């Protein structure tokens, strides 16, 4: 039995632009459009040409190769023809395959927000769709607030949808604009609409205001809809749009959907999903959602000792899908609840060879628990855990000892009367019996300290020459009576190798210094430097 | 028509303890149990006595007043009686109202994980439930991996559930332990089970691995189940448990559920939900999920200019429920997409009186956009926005000017040979024509700077005497070629007044200093200090 085609419509660059704290630059939009195109979504809604200069220039050329490049905008305003409507004109000027119009489909809105008649609104839909088709574009209609509109006045809501269909729209998208509709309601209403408009022309646009965006999308598909609109990582205003990074794996891996439908994302594409999701977060400087389904860092993380042994025996006992299918991996967390099997699994993953009955495993577990009580967190600081383990095993030579460090930040007037800030650090180390003292300036105290620390490490200098500080994260929390600062530093060697270390102290400079020295020690150890 | 009672079972303190990066202290557990009790959940599962010393001592006394205090643990192991099983014994020693046993209900697990026969597993269920009842406790059974177990061997899975029911369990909870079941499957399976065990004795325990924990919980209720298990803020391992902060408002505010069911949370309790959710995040030092349904800071936030004007006219045009019902509030965001109406709404909210046609509004909007391009973020830094607005309006006197500041952090050996870190700051300010220089030591550079800055501000000293630094957040991101540090500082006056300011620089000390001086200027302005 052949499978039906389900279409995925990505609106990350349009609806996703409404996310709190997100503002796409043109460069961002270009990169994201390319990512989405490669992933295999069928439509990329690039933005709203005419609404702002950035979007207008983004639509100067088509920005996707395979996905249909789509421009969003409003239907014509009442009282003018489509061709004389500046909004519609801007859409038709855009270099795109598809135009997605949005129109009111809730009579209340037509009165309150538009101030025109119900018939004028239908005319706006009809004429806009027709204008787009005359201009050689594929046309579709987003029916705004469809579900509330349908509950209030089903005849009118349906009339809006049918008007678009009869005018030749390829897709009529039923939008739960305020996100308040529940799955059983969506299923019922979509089924009723599908009795009038074929499901192959119906789409669903859900928001997560009741935590049901994904469920609403699936419910609409069960009721006959064949297009799902969403965003990568569930971006979008308020609680976000339906998360395509959550829907895509379900559609491809869960038999109830995978056996009935095929989507544009291939198995190879699916295996890049985690990386694509993280790349988007990085690009937008957003912390990834640890707990995101399928792609989150913790999606396949197991903590409790009992679970860990069962998982390691047979992952099917605890994992609903194999993590590799979505490009993720299993994590067996080292934490205060960790049992011996967790620690062993971590050591194995990091390539540290220890016999399972080695008594030092228990000591390592103790050390981890004690340090975590002080504020250390080894989840995400692999290099620090590696060092800790190696130290417990007695396999880390004393490469260098810190005699003293000093960091100075001063804001004062310079010679030309400007107030400027200077940061300077001095570090005194002992390397192979020799005392070395180095000073450096930086654009901040931690930068200065890092540069001073790595300026002259004697015999080890060549191993750390190409090191760079890639990322620096700070978290401050109450660990008792004093605030505790935890610093995570990600370092790199300029050739793709990256590692993360952690430092904890009441003093942010101290915490940073710990993470910096751990980073260097890790590097030296990995390079096989001799103590 | 009278409504049916739906029971809410909170497992934040038990399943929620598996969350990556979360470790409850006894003090945490006591506070959280009290919060949940006040909120109005029916059951509080406090932990796993016997599994670790902290949980065992937590169960030395009942820790709730209204909610049923519940202890979790495994059914007896094969080959011994319930009374001779140390796990069961620990449960029966616990001071609790209810014992919740967990048992395998997937035949595959009984073989692979337990290594006993299917019949021995049923005996374990029967005898454990009976033992709890004999000891005067209410008993319930969590059927682990129930949905996968039912799909693989429905007869056996049902037998596990029925055995518990026939042994007198008050609740039989069907657990989607690996979170992989979809809503339509949950609805079908629960309905089939409800043909054998009355729905008033059935519960659902869902996880969010496919983004459907909330939908699965609602689907189970539609199929007849009358208990929902979940956690506050969706805590839990991997992707978390069903989020009670998402479910409670839906059950109380959406007609499809509110007209059919009543829950233990009152309308007054519901209005505390946002505050309870945030309090839990604060207690655990977790950043609140901005986008969480109902209670997230952005749940009722609108950004785009067009939406803002419609919302301000009539919130029902865009809001699915009134934010006040859950203790949240509407936010009209000031951002680069902000239109004039957004800025006006913010000014009104902060109590700044400006005529809507004042040309300075446009200037303020420009300033905000420029600063946001540099890395400033005013969402969440009300006091800095207030100051910025007041400055554009020319209403902020120059209280003080900073001539110079210096911060020194030094780690060196002290007199007794210990390596210790010293932090010292010096600040030179000009106040009312007088130059004042102060020095202070602190437990870190920012603490030292804060103390030095507030040590002697001349004529303004009395206004800032009771100020304290409550919270300090740092975010580092790439704002072009140089990393940019954004610091948010929350200050208080020791009497409940709190305000947040922001600072941005490549230099973390600089950024902190900006936020600190803004905080003082804000305080002086609000206190009516004269320039």
Please report the ipTM that was assigned to this predicted complex: 0.80
Pairing of strands B4-5, A419-431: unpaired
**How far does the CA of residue A353 sit from the closest CA of chain B (Å)?**
26
**A320 close to B (CB below 8 A):** yes
User: Nearest Cβ partner of B473 from A109, A419, A476?
Assistant: A476
Contacting residues of A for B218, CB less than 8 Å apart: 182-184, 212
Q: Is the pLDDT of residue A479 over 50?
A: no
Question: What structural domains does chain A harbor?
Answer: 4-265 (3.20.20.70), 301-388 (no CATH), 400-527 (3.30.160.270)
% of chain A with per-residue pLDDT over 70: 94
% of chain B with per-residue pLDDT over 70: 94
Q: Is the pLDDT of residue A151 over 80?
A: yes
Burial class (CB in 10 A: 0-12, 13-18, 19+), A28: middle
Averaged pLDDT of chain B? 90
Cβ <8 Å between B178 and A318: yes
Maximum average pLDDT range among B12-21, B24-33, B119-128, B341-350: B119-128
Q: Give me the pLDDT at residue B521, please.
A: 95
The whole-number average pLDDT for the span B388-417 is 91
Q: Is the pLDDT of residue B312 over 90?
A: no
Cβ <8 Å between B421 and A314: no
Q: Is the pLDDT of residue A375 over 80?
A: no
The residues, ordered by sequence, that sit 6+ positions from A266 with a Cβ below 8 Å of its Cβ are A40
What does the DSSP 8-state code read for residue A334?
-
What does the DSSP 8-state code read for residue B101?
E
**A372 close to B (CB below 8 A):** yes
The whole-number average pLDDT for the span A328-352 is 74
**B394 close to A (CB below 8 A):** no
As a residue count, chain B comes to 531
User: Nearest Cβ partner of A218 from B109, B182, B505?
Assistant: B182
User: Nearest Cβ partner of A211 from B214, B485, B508?
Assistant: B214
Cβ <8 Å between B20 and A423: no
Structure confidence at residue A480 as a pLDDT band (50, 70, 90): very low
**How far does the CA of residue A317 sit from the closest CA of chain B (Å)?**
7
- Rounded CA-CA distance B485/B477 in Å is 7
Q: Is the pLDDT of residue A162 over 90?
A: yes
Full DSSP string of A483-522: EEEEEEEEEE-SSS-EEEEEEEESSHHHHHHHHHHHHHHH
- Rounded CA-CA distance A57/B5 in Å is 57
Q: Is the pLDDT of residue A481 over 50?
A: no
B293 neighbors A210 (Cβ within 8 angstroms): yes
Nearest to A298 by CA among B238, B13, B117, B268: B238
Q: Give me the pLDDT at residue A310, please.
A: 60
The whole-number average pLDDT for the span A500-520 is 93
Nearest to B309 by CA among A91, A114, A189: A114
Cβ <8 Å between A185 and B320: no
Question: Sign of torsion, CA B98 B103 B105 B106?
Answer: positive
Cβ <8 Å between A290 and B20: yes
Strand partners, A17: none
Q: What are A438-468's pLDDT values in tens digits?
A: 999 998 999 999 999 999 999 999 999 999 8
Q: What are B175-194's pLDDT values in tens digits?
A: 999 999 999 999 999 999 99
Q: Give me the pLDDT at residue A529, please.
A: 87
User: Nearest Cβ partner of A23 from B299, B310, B336?
Assistant: B336
Q: Give me the pLDDT at residue A435, please.
A: 94
**B227 close to A (CB below 8 A):** no
Phi/psi region, residue A494 (left: phi>0; alpha: psi -120 to 50; beta: rest), is left
User: Nearest Cβ partner of A485 from B298, B379, B444?
Assistant: B444
Q: Give me the pLDDT at residue A285, please.
A: 67
Nearest to A323 by CA among A302, A289, A294, A346: A294
Contacting residues of A for B379, CB less than 8 Å apart: 20-21
Q: What are B236-289's pLDDT values in tens digits?
A: 999 999 999 999 999 999 999 999 999 999 999 999 999 999 889 878 867 789
Q: Give me the pLDDT at residue A211, please.
A: 98
Cβ <8 Å between B299 and A239: yes
Task: Compute the CA torsion angle A78, A80, A82, A84 (nearest 10 deg).
Answer: -140
E strand or H helix at A72 = strand A68-74
A101 neighbors A74 (Cβ within 8 angstroms): yes
E strand or H helix at A368 = helix A360-374
Best probe of the B interface among A177, A508, A510, A515, by most B CBs < 10 A, is A508
The separation between the first and the last C-alpha atoms of chain A, rounded to the nearest angstrom, is 67
Q: Give me the pLDDT at residue A396, please.
A: 86
Q: Give me the pLDDT at residue B496, please.
A: 76
The residues, ordered by sequence, that sit 6+ positions from A335 with a Cβ below 8 Å of its Cβ are A303, A342, A368, A372, A378, A379, B23
**B317 close to A (CB below 8 A):** yes
- Rounded CA-CA distance A98/A100 in Å is 6
Nearest to A394 by CA among A429, A364, A437, A349: A364
Q: What are A515-526's pLDDT values in tens digits?
A: 999 999 999 999
Helix-helix angle B213-222:B244-253, to 10 degrees = 40
Measure Cα distances from A236 to A143, A179, A329, B163, B514 in Å.
18, 11, 27, 47, 31
Cβ <8 Å between A254 and B412: no
Best probe of the B interface among A210, A233, A485, by most B CBs < 10 A, is A210
The residue in chain A having the minimum alpha-carbon distance to the alpha carbon of residue B298 is: A238
Say which residue, B77 or B313, is predicted with more confidence.
B77
- Spell out where B283-433 has E strands: 301-302, 331-332, 400-413, 419-431
Q: Give me the pLDDT at residue B481, please.
A: 41
Contacting residues of A for B421, CB less than 8 Å apart: 505, 507, 509-510
- Rounded CA-CA distance A94/B445 in Å is 53
Cβ <8 Å between A293 and B472: no
Q: Give me the pLDDT at residue A309, please.
A: 62
Question: Sign of torsion, CA B89 B90 B93 B98?
Answer: negative
User: Nearest Cβ partner of A239 from B291, B307, B336?
Assistant: B291
Cβ <8 Å between A250 and B182: yes
**A14 close to B (CB below 8 A):** no
Q: Give me the pLDDT at residue B315, please.
A: 81
Q: Note which residues in 469-488 of chain A have CB less than 8 A from chain B.
A: 471-478, 482-483, 485
Find tokens 């202890």 and name the residue.
B71
Cβ <8 Å between A183 and B183: yes
Strand partners, A441: A424
What does the DSSP 8-state code read for residue A232?
G
Q: Is the pLDDT of residue A9 over 80?
A: yes
Averaged pLDDT of chain A? 90
Q: Note which residues in 269-308 of chain A have CB less than 8 A from chain B.
A: 285, 287, 289-294, 296-304
- Rounded CA-CA distance A175/A193 in Å is 13
E strand or H helix at B501 = strand B498-505
Cβ <8 Å between B238 and A291: yes
Best probe of the B interface among A175, A186, A411, A512, by most B CBs < 10 A, is A411
Cβ <8 Å between A238 and B302: yes
- Rounded CA-CA distance B361/B348 in Å is 12
The whole-number average pLDDT for the span B38-43 is 98
Q: What are A274-309's pLDDT values in tens digits?
A: 999 988 987 886 778 989 999 998 999 876 555 556
Measure Cα distances from B33 to B24, B42, B60, B68, B275 in Å.
12, 12, 14, 11, 15
Q: What are B313-359's pLDDT values in tens digits?
A: 778 878 999 999 999 988 776 554 556 767 787 788 788 888 878 88
Maximum average pLDDT range among A124-133, B388-397, B468-477: A124-133
Q: Note which residues in 63-102 of chain A have CB less than 8 A from chain B.
A: none
B157 neighbors B150 (Cβ within 8 angstroms): yes
Nearest to B281 by CA among B35, B15, B26, B8: B35
The residue in chain B having the minimum alpha-carbon distance to the alpha carbon of residue A311 is: B113
Q: Map residue A423 onto helix, strand or coil.
A: strand
- Rounded CA-CA distance B1/B97 in Å is 32
Full DSSP string of B138-193: EEEEEEETHHHHHHH-HHHHHHHHHHHHHTT-SEEEEE-TTS---HHHHHHHHHHH
Structure confidence at residue B434 as a pLDDT band (50, 70, 90): very high
Structure confidence at residue B372 as a pLDDT band (50, 70, 90): confident
**A173 close to B (CB below 8 A):** no
Q: What are B124-178's pLDDT values in tens digits?
A: 999 999 999 999 999 999 999 999 999 999 999 999 999 999 999 999 999 999 9
**How far does the CA of residue A342 sit from the closest CA of chain B (Å)?**
14
- Rounded CA-CA distance B432/B306 in Å is 46
Q: Give me the pLDDT at residue A503, please.
A: 93
User: Nearest Cβ partner of B210 from A52, A250, A505?
Assistant: A250
Strand partners, B228: B8, B204
Q: Give me the pLDDT at residue A335, please.
A: 53
The separation between the first and the last C-alpha atoms of chain B, rounded to the nearest angstrom, is 66
User: HSE of A171 in the Cβ direction (CA atoms, 13 Å)?
Assistant: 27
Question: Sign of torsion, CA B109 B115 B117 B119?
Answer: negative
The residue in chain A having the minimum alpha-carbon distance to the alpha carbon of residue B250 is: A210
The whole-number average pLDDT for the span A159-187 is 98
User: HSE of B25 in the Cβ direction (CA atoms, 13 Å)?
Assistant: 12
Burial class (CB in 10 A: 0-12, 13-18, 19+), A264: middle
- Rounded CA-CA distance A297/A323 in Å is 11
User: Nearest Cβ partner of B293 from A52, A210, A310?
Assistant: A210
Structure confidence at residue B462 as a pLDDT band (50, 70, 90): very high
Helices and strands: H and E segment counts in chain B: 20, 18
- Rounded CA-CA distance B458/B435 in Å is 9
Q: Give me the pLDDT at residue B335, please.
A: 53
Say which residue, A21 or B365, is predicted with more confidence.
B365
Nearest to A240 by CA among B292, B463, B468: B292
As a residue count, chain A comes to 531
The whole-number average pLDDT for the span A209-236 is 98
Contacting residues of B for A74, CB less than 8 Å apart: none
- Radius of gyration, alpha carbons of chain A: 29
């Amino acid at each position: 039995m052949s499978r039906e085609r389900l279409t995925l419509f990505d609106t990350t660059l349009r609806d996703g632009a409404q996310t709190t704290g997100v503002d796409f630059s043109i460069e961002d939009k270009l990169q994201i459009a390319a990512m989405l195109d490669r992933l295999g979504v069928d439509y990329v809604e690039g933005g709203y040409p005419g609404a702002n200069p950035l979007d207008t220039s983004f639509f100067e050329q088509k920005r996707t190769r395979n996905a249909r490049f789509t421009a969003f905008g409003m239907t014509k305003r009442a009282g003018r023809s489509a061709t004389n409507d500046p909004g519609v004109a801007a859409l038709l000027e855009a270099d795109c395959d598809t135009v997605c119009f949005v129109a009111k489909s809730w009579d209340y809105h037509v009165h309150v927000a538009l101030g025109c008649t119900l018939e004028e609104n239908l005319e706006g839909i009809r004429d806009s769709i027709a204008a787009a088709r005359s201009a050689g574009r594929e046309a579709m209609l987003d029916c705004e607030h469809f579900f509330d509109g349908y509950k209030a006045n089903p005849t009118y809501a349906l009339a809006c949808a049918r008007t678009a269909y009869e005018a030749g729209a390829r897709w009529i998208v039923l939008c739960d604009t305020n996100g308040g509709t529940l799955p059983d309601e969506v299923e019922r209403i979509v089924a009723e609409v599908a009795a009038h408009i074929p499901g192959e022309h119906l789409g669903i646009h859900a928001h997560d205001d009741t935590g049901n965006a994904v469920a609403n999308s699936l419910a609409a598909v069960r009721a006959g809809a064949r297009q799902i609109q969403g965003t990568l990582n569930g971006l979008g205003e308020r609680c976000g749009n339906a998360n395509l990074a959550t829907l895509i794996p379900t559609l491809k891996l869960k038999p109830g959907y995978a056996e009935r439908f095929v989507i544009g994302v291939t198995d190879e594409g699916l295996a890049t999903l985690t990386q694509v999701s993280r790349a988007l977060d990085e690009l937008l400087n957003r912390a990834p959602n640890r707990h995101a389904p399928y792609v989150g860092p913790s999606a396949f993380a197991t903590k409790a000792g009992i679970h860990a042994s069962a998982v390691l025996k047979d992952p099917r006992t605890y994992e609903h899908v194999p993590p590799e299918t979505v490009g993720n991996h299993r994590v067996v967390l080292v934490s205060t609840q960790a049992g011996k099997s967790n620690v062993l699994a971590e050591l194995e993953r990091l390539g540290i060879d220890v016999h399972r009955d080695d008594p030092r495993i228990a000591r390592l577990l103790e050390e981890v628990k004690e340090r975590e009580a002080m504020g250390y967190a080894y989840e995400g600081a692999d290099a620090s855990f590696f060092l800790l383990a190696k130290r417990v095993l007695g396999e880390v030579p004393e490469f260098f000892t810190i005699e003293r460090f000093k960091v100075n930040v001063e804001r004062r007037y310079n010679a030309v009367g400007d107030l400027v800030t200077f940061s300077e650090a001095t570090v005194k180390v002992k390397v192979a019996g020799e005392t070395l003292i180095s000073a450096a300036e930086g654009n901040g105290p931690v930068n200065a300290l890092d540069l001073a620390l790595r300026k002259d490490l004697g015999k080890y200098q060549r191993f750390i020459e190409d090191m760079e500080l890639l990322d620096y994260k700070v978290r401050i929390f109450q660990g008792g009576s004093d605030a505790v600062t935890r610093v995570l530093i990600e370092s790199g060697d300029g050739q793709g190798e990256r590692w993360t270390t952690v430092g904890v102290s009441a003093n942010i400079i101290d915490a940073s210094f710990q993470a910096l020295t751990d980073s260097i020690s890790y590097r030296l150890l990995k390079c096989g430097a001799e103590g």
